[in-house]
Each structure stands twice: as C-alpha cells, then as structure tokens.
Amino acid sequence: MSTPQVSRRQFVGGSAAVLAMLGVGGLAGCGGNAGSGSGDAAGGIALTDTFTMISVASNDSFDPIVGTGSDKVTMHSIFDNLFMFDGDGNVEPMLAESYEQDGNTVTVVLREANFSDGTPVTADDVVFSWDKLAADPSQGPYMSNYISGVEKVDDKTVKVGVVRDDTSWMNILAETLYIVQASSYDPEANDYASQPPVGSGAYTFESVDEARTVTLKANEDYWGGAPTFKTVVVQAPVDSSTSLVALQNGEVNCVSMMADTAVETARDDANLNVVEFEAWGQQMLGVLVGDQAFRSAIFHAINTQNIVDVVTGGAATPATQFFAKKLLGKDYDGVVTFDAYDPELAKEEIAKTETDLSQTFTLTASDEAGAQCAQCIQQDLAAIGINVEVESVDVNTWSSKLMDQTLQMFINALGTDMLAADSFIQLLLGDTSVYYYPISDELKAKIAEMNAIPSVVARHDLVVEILNDMQVECPIVPLYDTVNYDVYTKGIEGYLPSSAGTYVYYLGKLTK
C-alpha cells in the first residue's frame, strides 16, 4: 500500500497510485521450516536459516515495472533501488553511492554493484528502468509530476530531472523505481507471472507455488554482503488470528500489518516483538458515486467516534482533517479542520440529492478493520435512507476493481511515505489519478493549477483552499489516523521500524 499503506502505503501492487494494505485469505504452507532446527530466540522459538513472512498482498506478477499485481516484500528483495529508507522512514542512498542536487537536476553516481548473474549495474540499466516505468500507463503519468526524466552521463553516472523543489523525488526513487537489467528485460518473451526479470537485490527467485507462496534464495555475492537468512519464504495474506497462531507456533517469523485485534495478544507473548509505527495512512471512506449533496450527506452522517470505539477499542482519535497528521506535516497539520458528524445536516443534504436512492450501493472493504468500519457505516447511512451492501475482498481484487472503475464506495487506509499533502491531493484527485472521484470541474482546475506550481511555498495557499473545497465536495470521509503494527520472532535483529509504515523491507539486512 504501498498504499497502499497500497499507505502506502502505503502502496500495493508496486503502484504508487494504489495505496491500500490488507491481509485476508487462506494460510498456505505455514507448516514450513521457520521454527524447526537449531538456534534459539530468547529461549523460545528457534531460528534457522529460513525466514518466513506473511505479506499483505499476493504475488500475481513479478514484473517490477508494471503497476499492479506485485508484492513489495518480494520486489524489494529481488530488486534494488537507487535510494532506500532508514529505520525512521528517511531516505538514504542504496545503489546510489552519492548524489548532488543543483536546482532541478540531480547527479547520481552509482556504486559498484552487480546483478545476480554477475554483470555490473550501469547507467544504461537505470535509464532503461526509468523509461519503462515512465511508459507504464498506470504509473508513468503520475511519476511525471515529480521526475521529468533520467539521462546517462557515463557508465556510472546519471542525471535525474526533478519537477518540484522538495525532496519527493528521493522517496519516489526509493519506493517505486526498481532497477532491472536492460539487456534481459523483455515482458513479451518472458512470463513474469511465474518468474521475475534479473535484479541486483539481496535475494534471487527460486519458486512460486499455486498458492502464490514465493521462495527466495540468498544472493551470496550481494554488494551489501551475503544475507544471514539463506532462504526467504513469502506467503500470501491471511487473517490476523491465523497469522498470530502461525507466529506463536514458530511456523512464520514475521507478519506485516497485524490487525489491532491481535496486537495485544502478541504483546503478551514473550517470544514475539511488536513494532508500532505511526503511519502516513488514514482510514477513510472513498465515495466514487453520487452528486455533491449525496456525498455531503454521507460526510455528515458517519459517527466516527463510534467507529473508533468499535474498531480500535478507543485507541484512535476520530479524524478532524483530511489525511493523516504525519502526511500533512508541519505545513498543513491543523490548518484545515472540521467536526463532520452532524446527523441533522446529513438529513438536510440527502433531501437535496438527485442521486437515485432506490438502488443499493456497494461498499468494498479490503481488510479486517475496513470490514468493521463498513458495518458501522452501513448502519449510519441506513439512518438517512442510503442502502449499502458490504463486500470484503482481498487487496489484489480491490486493486483490480479500482483500475476497472467498478468500485462505488470503499474503505481503506490511504497514505504514502512518498508524498506531502499537496502531492497526495494530486494522487487522489488529479487528472492523472487512477481514482475517479466525481468532483467539480472547478476543483479539478484548482488541482491542476496547484500541480503546475513547482514551488512548495508558492502553492501553500492554494492547497489550503483546495482542502477547504474538499469539505464542500466531500469525495472522501476521513475516519481516523492509522498506526501500523508488525510482529516478528524475538532473536531477529536488523528489523527497521519504518517498514511497518512504508511496507518496504530489506530482508538482506536481517540477522539473528
């Protein structure tokens, strides 16, 4: 999610536009070797040379260029990026040895690194990877808002053209631009649903089974050093109760995005570590249908305090602004606030709508928390005459429905470590967005005007105006800011807390 999450992250499927994260499905291959053999974690769960992880999305594709169908755990294990995240979520060089920015041009010098077949990573590979990403219809138009192009200077140097005067380009390169081998990448001649192209990451691909469980082997010649865990197994998502049992039994070593309902039990287990990370994501309701009065009625009908009490046990706080506090940052946090819940105003607004209320609308959830939110929202909307049916799907299905434009309403935790408030507005509501909120032409024009201003400072007042307009047009209903939880076996070292928020894992750095 990545956001996801798909935040997001958060970002699912390798697409910067699809930010949701979730974990549902059936546990495949949990009876593996994660907890058998020699080694001891805090006198409890034994650690071997195999690291097994339950992810939040299944690997339907191993092509890192295509915007959907791939899981970031696997992608970041097989492919390196120019930059990477540290434990706090800041960005530092990865394949880049050094960089220097001069205005809108960034000169990047590559480190000495090889692909898994022993050939060196060169500027040609970086340029090729960017060109392919920029040409991808699901990602290219969006990426062009931040990076204008990548050019070769010499075999070990590239120049990156950046559009904005902030550092969002670094996050884009850390999150999204996976470097593939130019000489062998060919999606027409290769089936990347069953095997990935050549990468330079800490692990190489070994197999994928019918349940989409992926097995990776350590790249012993990795430029960052041979990984401690010689085998990595990445399993498709399951519900948190099932994944928690698998952790406690030593069948898996790490679960990403553990649901709040299972976290307290995990905290009480002496053999497990719980990582809590304030995320960039916000649990929100997206309304992709209806006129403005319809959306406004929904905005004011939802009892967010009740949702917080039911879903988080009161641990969260009802949202009073668009987007998570962490994503808004110091420039926008607290600038535009609201108290949306007003049942009487909701009834007044629904009386004005020309949207057909005789139909039943579909509200789609893609994780456990979302499904709980949806049940509460269903009751709130019924009180003002809006009939809603709730459907729960996995994250890959959710992503496909978004791309097919068949979602009507959805619940998801949306946010991203790559962007600030202004660029997140562009991602959700801009003309290159994969989302299709029915906002006015006037609001669309303001967003386009904002996006054309390269200076972060110069666009500030317009961003505030847009956030105020969003209270009127109500394309989304903020519910509460999310906290992400990862749970892993004690005895594992080198885990980055930021991974719980970015959903970017560097498994080659883990030790025991």
3-state secondary structure of 512: coil
Task: Please determine, for residue 349, whether its predicted confidence score (pLDDT) is greater than 90.
Answer: yes
CA distance 119 to 197: 14
CB 12 within 8 A of CB 171: no
118-127, pLDDT tens digit by residue?
A: 999 999 999 9
Note the pLDDT of residue 43. 55
Quote the pLDDT of residue 8: 32
Six-digit token string for 3: 């956001």
**pLDDT at residue 235 in the model:** 96
For residues 479-499, average pLDDT: 93
The architecture (CATH level 2) of 281-482 comes to: Roll (3.10)
Alpha helices (H) in 253-291, listed in sequence order = 260-267
3-class DSSP assignment, residue 501: helix
- The whole-number pLDDT of residue 69 equals 64
**Chain centroid to CA 363:** 21
**Digit-coded pLDDT (tens) for 213-224:** 999 999 999 999
Of the candidate ranges 14-18, 183-187, 328-332, 337-341, the one whose mean pLDDT is the lowest: 14-18
Give the pLDDT band of residue 227 (cuts 50, 70, 90): very high
Question: Can you name the residues that pair with 411 across neighbouring β-strands?
Answer: 285, 365
CA pseudo-torsion sign 242, 247, 251, 255: positive
Mean pLDDT of the 483-487 span:
91
Instruction: Give, to the nearest 10 degrees, the angle between helix 421-429 and helix 325-332.
Output: 120
pLDDT of 130-184, one tens digit each? 999 999 887 888 788 889 999 999 999 999 999 988 888 998 899 889 999 999 9
Q: 421: Cβ–Cβ under 8 A, 6 or more apart, which residues?
A: 323, 327, 328, 329, 331, 332, 463, 467
Neighbours of 355 (CB within 10 A): 17
Residue from 256, 283, 244, 461 nearest 371 by CA: 283
- Per residue in 81-131, pLDDT (tens digit) is 999 999 888 899 999 999 999 999 999 999 999 999 999 999 999 999 999
- φ and ψ of 8, to 5 deg: 130, -95
How far is the C-alpha of 351 from the C-alpha of 328, rounded, in Å?
34
| CB-CB contact of 233 with 50 (8 Å) | yes
Query: Each residue of 233-244: pLDDT tens digit?
Result: 999 988 889 999
Q: Looking at residue 139, what is its pLDDT? A: 82
Residue written as tokens 């750095």?
Answer: 509
* Sequence spans of domains, the chain: 281-482
Rounded Cα distance, 355 and 120, in Å: 59
E strand intervals along 222-318? 231-235, 254-255, 272-287
Handedness of CA 339, 340, 345, 349 (dihedral sign): positive
Structure tokens at 136: 């991808």
Alpha-helical runs (H) found in 177-259: 240-248
